[in-house]
Structure 1
Amino acid sequence: MIKLHGFSASNYYNVPKLALLEKGIEFEEVLSYTGVGPQYKPEYLDKSPLGKVPALETAEGYISESRAILDYIERAYPQHSLLPDTPFGVAKVQELSQFIELYFELVARRLIPNLLLGTEPDPVVLKEVENSFNKAVVALAKLSSFEQFAYGDQFTLADIAAILNLPIVRNVGIKFLGRDPLSEVPGLDAYCARMEARPQVKKVRMDSVSDRPGFMTHLKALYGV
């Protein structure tokens, strides 16, 4: 049985976790908190060279990086595919997934330390984040109407990207901008409500909430936050 190493409070960990759940693949979860620099757990570096989560343990060895793990899962377990059956469809799903990760999640992540520590962000950084959100919101509406799924008529990797990355944008927007920028995307609010009703998504959310105290304890021990 394959094993997924990491922790449920991590969005990066939950990307392959949700894929495994949606595809109905049996797997074991191995709790692994990691740190930075000399405080890395040396044994974990054999699983993930930079000490990051997640890492997937297979009979042939370890794979790190969520994107690579998703590719392995799709190829090794082709049933209940999370990709369309045409080259164009696959490319569009990958385009939308990457768009959400680059222009929403990575932008919002600049303010995560402020969310965790309860501090006010640098005004210059906050303005840059707001400007980036404004541009991305307009562009996202051109990539998907969110009528049923993120792309097409089946659940795909683009849905996983949306489900796991967009909530952080809402949190950052509401906390620091006084508004939810995603509500400006037609159809997105209703789409998100449908996705949250999926049993597999509910499990990921519940596991994430359950893991949060352990994760915060880990951060406090590691960084004193």
Structure 2
Amino acid sequence: MGTEAAAVKILVIEDSESVLSMIGMFFQKEGIEGTFVADGNDGYREAMSGRYDCLIIDWMLPGMDGVTICRKVREAGIEVPIIMLTAKTSEADQVTGLETGADDYVTKPFSPAALMARIRAVTRRYGIRTADSGEEGIIRTKHFRINEKTREAFLDGEPVPNLTPKEFDLLAQFARHPRQVFTREQLIESVWGYDFYGDDRTVDVHVKRLRGKTEKDGRQFFHTVWGVGYRFEEPEDGA
């Protein structure tokens, strides 16, 4: 991950010594600062510190299982990318992990390169990159200011309240590409990722929620393009 990877701090909660050793050697090669915990309870306490840019959590752990850790982290409002490691291969199990709050999963056995690809993908979605505005992590439009590092969104200087992680990601995706028409499939791929389980109605629900949280006084930002998808376009009159 080059210079970007050197800044990434990753917590790995995994009880397999061989897996920890493999990941540890790969992190060292990539310049990633890794913290490794083998017990679920200890890992949960470390995850709650909020000091990490990414969490990698095994599904089956002594003390507290990975799904419970993931759920508790999300319930605490900690916005951090989470990758689940799992030996479970059924679609139902994978959906359970994603519904609990994980952003992605890697099925064992896996290669370091495959894990690295998932780390790059989830950290990129959480704003570890430079926005087109030239100011690191900031997206500016006429009405919106979006900070991808702190995951805060402001509308005309006022915080947009109660955005869920995916609502934030969707807003950022639209704001980065004003007036571009996205199909639902394109939005699913860019916001939810290639392993998303569900249908394109999920996009409709999230757009509806974004409209409810941002479109006041008759202003419209999210436009339906019938038969295609959606585009983000701010009113020209500044209303």
Q: Same fold (TM over 0.5)?
A: no
Question: Highest Rg: 1 or 2?
Answer: 2
Q: Which has the higher strand share?
A: 2
Which gives a bigger RCO, structure 1 or 2 (Cα 8 Å, sep 6+)?
A: 1
Q: Which has the higher helix share?
A: 1
